Amino acid sequence: MPHPEHGATNQGSLAESEETEQQRIGAVQHALQTVIVDVGKRHQGSSVDEVEHALTTAIADAGVPAQPHKWVHDTAVEIAGGRLVVMNQHEQELLGRPHEKVGRPVDPERDTTS
C-alpha cells in the first residue's frame, strides 16, 4: 500500500510538471509569434519560397524546435499574401488584435466563416 505522504508528493510533482510543460509550450508559441511578426514585417509581398526560407532560418536562430513543413509553408503563404498568422488567443491579445481570427493560416477556399 502506498504511503499517503508519497501520493501527495507525486501529485504535487505531476502538477508542477504539467505547469512547467505549459510554460514551455507558451514560451515556444511566443517565440514563434515573434518570428512570424518579424518575418512578416521584412518579407510581406515576397515569394512564398523566400518567406519559407526566412521562416526556417528565423525559427532556427530563435532556438525554437523545427516546425512541420506544412506549417512553415502555410504560414509563408499567408505572410507572402500580406496576412498575419496569430498563434493563439494570448498572442492575439499581446498584439492588440483581440477580435481577429486566431489559429493556423486560413485557406480562403475552405474558410466558411468569412
Q: DSSP characters for 26-73?
A: HHHHHHHHHHHHHHHHHHTTS-HHHHHHHHHHHHHHTTPPPPPHHHHH
The whole-model pTM stands at 0.64
Q: What is the pLDDT of residues 5-56, one digit of tens each?
A: 555 556 667 666 777 888 888 788 888 988 998 999 899 889 999 999 999 9
Q: Identify which of 105, 95, 96 has the alpha carbon closest to the alpha carbon of residue 67.
A: 105
Which triple of cell numbers denotes residue 1? 500500500
* Residue 65 and residue 56 in contact, taking contact as beta carbons nearer than 8 Å: no
CB 29 within 8 A of CB 71: no
Residue in the block written with cell 510543460: 21
Q: What is the pLDDT of residues 66-91, one digit of tens each?
A: 999 999 999 999 899 988 777 666 65
